[in-house]
A and B are shown apart, each in its own frame.
Chain A
Amino acid sequence: MMLRIRGFESKAAECFTKGMLAGNIHLCIGQEAVPTGACMALEPEDYMASTHRGHGHCIAKGADTDKMLAELFGKKTGYCKGKGGSMHIADVAGLHSLGANGIVGAGIPIATGSAFASKIWGDKHVTLCFFGDSASNQGTFHEAINMAAAWKLPVVYLCENNSYGVSTDIHGVTNTDTIAVRAKAYDIPGETVDGNDPVTVYEAVKKAVDYAREGNGPSIVECLTFRHQGHYCGDPAVYRPAEYMEHAHEKDAIPNFRKKLLEQGTATEEELVAIEKAVDEEIEAAYKFANESDYPDPSEATTDVYSSDNERSVVR
């Protein structure tokens, strides 16, 4: 899974650099262990809300890389028919993926509302809410977690702390060492873990998911991680000290986990090479699918604004 995410992101970066993608993309290279471990702790029926840096979340929740890359290309075969792009990939009915979001912190109340529905229906589904360190400084973080705690809603707040909001160091704008310590304010569990190890992430999130499913309410799980790229693809990230990337490479989950699997004897070199080859093939196929798909017909611009009265509502 981590390889699939990195493969997808690397291909997206390549296409963006070649000028094949419009707009902007936010890559999660370096953060792969977090969505991988976190989504493994979910049941397929559980819900997930993502962020602007959300490709990894979607893939980990089960998204097809071909439909995802097609969406990045703005093609009609994409998850959102080319209407959402990188920051709005969703598969609500199928994967229970409630969507990425272009507004930092906006997914937190939406995920909480999903958990609110589960609480009212008593359906036992848990909602996993991804957000970044900087989203924790939005008012929505406080408002939503306060309500989730007061009403014991089945939601897990997963903070991907990569230390930067665009160029701003989280420690320069936040007085606490961790984000998870804020859980105390809501009298809920909060834990900070190494987000560079998928097993550690899995274990922490599994505990929080079980806790939520048993009716105990929300938790905050903070995963410390590294954003290898800048804020957006092409951002040279001159605002970061050199040590940041040194740590990032040292802690890079993909080579480290590979080494660990070999050392433990969990996998052989041949098995790992086979996996790497399969991922390369999948991503190449996704690229071919996205590149060869058609753009939406311009007449599609005015569909899907409304579910009823669409035609007359978009005219006047």
Chain B
Amino acid sequence: MSKKISVSKAIGEALHEEMTRDENVIILGEDMGKMGNVFGITVGFQEEFGAHRVWDTPISESGFCGMAVGAAMRGMRPVVELMYNDFITVAADPIFNQAAKMRYMTGGQATVPMVLRVPMGAGRRNAGQHSQCFENLFCHMPGLKVIAPCSAEDAKGLLKSAIRDDDPVICMEHKLLYAKKEEIPEGEYTIPLGKAAVKREGTDLTIITWSREVNFALEAAAELEKEGISVEVLDLRTLVPLDWEAIVASVSKTHNVIVVSEEVKRGSYAGELSAQIAEELFDELDAPVERVCGLNIVSPFSPTLEDENFPHPADIVKAVKKVLNK
């Protein structure tokens, strides 16, 4: 049995089910209560669960992220939203220096079972401070886990696992996926952290990607099939911990790889993946790994400029042909 719902609704279902299941799950962030979140994810939650479990915070990202760390150390499971992932810059200390490191610095005593939901991504004409993709920052920091689902089914299942996980988990949600309606299973299910999914099987080249770019990779793969090129699309779903076995299996089959991400190319997580593959799977490769990423620029406002700044299916098609020398 399945049902068709939007990605944002699937995220809302995950939150609702986990709040019902565990009274220590609380929500805090800007406009999460009365308004029910700027994307409508928590509409009705405050009435149902009470103001003591769904908190409208002031615009104090550093303060409420730090409070979530303290509450999580006491055994709460706060699910915090930064309205945009770009705002991590003002909440960097509580997440990078506190949440991520607390377990290690205390010799394993403290656990920080919090989830930080960070809507991200370009394409909404929101310009330089509301459109970025910070996978590289989050994945860099030891102690954080990072998920970046592309579908309604994955978003619900992964978020539920993230809430139950004892480590701090960053949930990267692409804003342009929220309205996308997709089939998901009825009822209770979870998807384990750290498991990639082959979204399309192929034999000539592997596209490693996540989040919204999975859809673009699938479009590109369909296009390339018409030209007789068989592309495998590996959706990482979880960026940390990385499903290295899935990467090895796919690369050992296709021997060609591109990594597609919306990040700024310089210093990207796509670059990190490309380096790992080059270091450890060199003998499997028929050609150098290609990164297909955003440009090294500030996210522009004007549609014609912004559309230049993240990989489209045509860019992926071009990169695949380049790697395959076709």
- Could you tell me the distance in whole angstroms from the C-beta of B57 to the nearest C-beta in chain A? 7
Known A-B contacts A109-B69, A143-B63; the reply to A117 vs B143 at CB < 8 A is no
In the complex, are the beta carbons of A113 and B109 less than 8 A apart? Answer: no
A147 at interface by CB-CB < 8 Å? yes
Residues of A within 8 A of B67 (CB): 109-110, 112-113, 116, 144, 147
In the complex, are the beta carbons of B103 and A306 less than 8 A apart? Answer: yes
Q: Which of B65, B66, B98, B103 has the most CB of A within 10 A?
A: B66
Known A-B contacts A92-B73, A305-B143, A309-B241; the reply to A79 vs B62 at CB < 8 A is no
Residues of A in contact with B (beta carbons under 8 Å apart)? 47, 49, 78-84, 88, 90-93, 98-99, 101-103, 106, 108-120, 139-140, 142-144, 146-147, 150, 303-309, 312-314, 316
* Contact residue among B63, B102, B145 (Cβ-Cβ distance under 8 Å from A109): B63
- Could you tell me the distance in whole angstroms from the C-beta of A20 to the nearest C-beta in chain B? 20
Residues of B within 8 A of A147 (CB): 57-58, 60, 63-64, 67
In the complex, are the beta carbons of A313 and B240 less than 8 A apart? Answer: yes
In the complex, are the beta carbons of B241 and A143 less than 8 A apart? Answer: no
In the complex, are the beta carbons of A312 and B241 less than 8 A apart? Answer: yes
Question: What string of 1s and 0s marks CB contacts (under 8 Å) between B53-80 and chain A?
Answer: 1000110101111111111111110000
Question: What string of 1s and 0s marks CB contacts (under 8 Å) between B186-225 and chain A?
Answer: 0000000110000000000000000000000000000000
In the complex, are the beta carbons of A109 and B75 less than 8 A apart? Answer: no
* 12 sample A-B contacts, Cβ–Cβ < 8 Å, listed by A number: A83-B105, A98-B70, A113-B69, A113-B70, A113-B72, A120-B71, A143-B60, A144-B66, A144-B67, A147-B57, A306-B145, A309-B241
- Could you tell me the distance in whole angstroms from the C-beta of A289 to the nearest C-beta in chain B? 17
Residues of A within 8 A of B167 (CB): 306-309
Closest 3 CB pairs of A and B: A113-B70, A109-B66, A143-B63
Question: What string of 1s and 0s marks CB contacts (under 8 Å) between B240-256 and chain A?
Answer: 11101000000000000
Cα of A112 to Cα of B104 in the assembled complex, Å = 22
Cα of A304 to Cα of B143 in the assembled complex, Å = 9
Residues of B within 8 A of A305 (CB): 103-104, 142-143
Known A-B contacts A140-B63, A305-B103; the reply to A116 vs B110 at CB < 8 A is no
Residues of B in contact with A (beta carbons under 8 Å apart)? 26, 52-53, 57-58, 60, 62-76, 93-94, 97-98, 102-111, 142-143, 145, 165-167, 193-194, 240-242, 244, 276
Known A-B contacts A81-B107, A83-B104, A90-B109; the reply to A146 vs B63 at CB < 8 A is yes
Residues of B within 8 A of A112 (CB): 63, 66-67, 70
Residues of A within 8 A of B106 (CB): 79-80, 83-84, 88, 90, 92, 99
In the complex, are the beta carbons of A117 and B75 less than 8 A apart? Answer: yes
In the complex, are the beta carbons of A99 and B66 less than 8 A apart? Answer: no
In the complex, are the beta carbons of A91 and B165 less than 8 A apart? Answer: no
In the complex, are the beta carbons of B109 and A109 less than 8 A apart? Answer: no
In the complex, are the beta carbons of A80 and B66 less than 8 A apart? Answer: no
Known A-B contacts A99-B110, A109-B94, A306-B167; the reply to A140 vs B66 at CB < 8 A is yes
Residues of A within 8 A of B105 (CB): 80, 83-84, 88, 90, 99
Cα of A164 to Cα of B155 in the assembled complex, Å = 49
Known A-B contacts A103-B97, A308-B167, A309-B145; the reply to A49 vs B70 at CB < 8 A is yes
Cα of A120 to Cα of B23 in the assembled complex, Å = 10
Q: Which of B62, B70, B241 has the most CB of A within 10 A?
A: B70
Residues of A within 8 A of B111 (CB): 307
In the complex, are the beta carbons of B62 and A139 less than 8 A apart? Answer: yes
Residues of B within 8 A of A142 (CB): 63
- Could you tell me the distance in whole angstroms from the C-beta of B58 to the nearest C-beta in chain A? 6
Residues of B within 8 A of A49 (CB): 70
In the complex, are the beta carbons of A110 and B109 less than 8 A apart? Answer: no
Cα of A305 to Cα of B190 in the assembled complex, Å = 24
Residues of B within 8 A of A81 (CB): 107-108
